[in-house]
Amino acid sequence: MGKVIICANQKGGVAKSTSVVNLGIGLAMKGKRVLVIDNDPQGSLTEALGYSEPDKLEVTLANIMEWVLNEDDFDLSSGIIHHKEGIDLLPANIELSGVETSLVGIMSSETTLKEYIDMIRDDYDYILVDCSPNLGQLTLNALVTADEVIIPVQAAYLPIKGLEQLLKTISRVKRKMNPHLNIMGILITMVDYRTIYAREITEVLFEHYGRSIHIFDEVIPLSVRAAEASAEGVSIYKYDPKSKVASAYMKIVEEVQNRG
């Protein structure tokens, strides 16, 4: 059975989508079968993989979740797009916002994504889910189905401050809905070590969370090249394979593999 890893943080702009792209493609480069799922109505992951107009896609995660909710029969390969760098993508667009609204108040709606993933889990070694920058119904669905959570955190004050709320939510989901849920680690992103501030924030993270939560040894440097790669719809390995960002992500990929 494939391992389900989600990237979650209710703060946007912390390189969640970039991390899912580069972890997913990095694992595919190691010979693994990988599906990445865009669980965000903004469609950031979908755009980062080259689909600049997600609203024009015929089948997305929104359709899949509606079919599962309605207990419809459907082809499990529906909506899955094969990316040229060796991973599969289940895209998302703004229609997912409507699905999130409809999930409120429906009994057991928090298991909708899990029901779908359980049907396709054997087809992949890893399923990576890019979550919305909030703690709403879609993120809750992802937490209920996940084996592991990677928390990308930008080396800045406000993203760290919001971390407590996310950790409480993860703890509550583990206690009440998904006892198998674990935090794989905090991934420090967009680090500019030229500034004392970034070093101080990194130290604060280790001081506050280092004893109770794993923090990945490798950090992701701040890089214009990573943003350019996303704009081109490719991974950093294809866009700038010799960059520090490519090297950092590949080390994270190796750590993810080593942790099971």
Cα separation of 243 and 126, whole Å? 25
Backbone angles phi, psi at 20, to 5 degrees: -65, -45
| CB-based contacts of 69, cutoff 8 Å, min separation 6 | 99, 102, 103, 106, 109, 112
Each residue's pLDDT expressed in tens, for the chain with a length of 260 residues:
799 999 999 878 788 999 999 999 999 999 999 999 999 999 999 999 999 999 899 999 999 999 999 999 999 999 999 999 999 999 999 999 999 888 888 888 999 999 999 999 999 999 999 999 988 999 999 999 999 999 999 877 665 667 888 999 999 999 999 999 999 999 999 888 777 777 787 888 888 888 899 999 899 998 899 889 999 999 999 999 999 999 999 999 999 999 86
Cα separation of 123 and 35, whole Å? 9
User: What's the CATH code, domain 3-255?
Assistant: 3.40.50.300
DSSP 167-213: HHHHHHHHHHT-TT-EEEEEEEESB-TTSHHHHHHHHHHHHHHTTTS
* Assigned token pair, 115: 């029901």
Where exactly are the structural domains of the chain? 3-255
- Sign of the torsion angle spanned by Cα atoms 97, 46, 77, 120: negative
Cα separation of 38 and 144, whole Å? 16
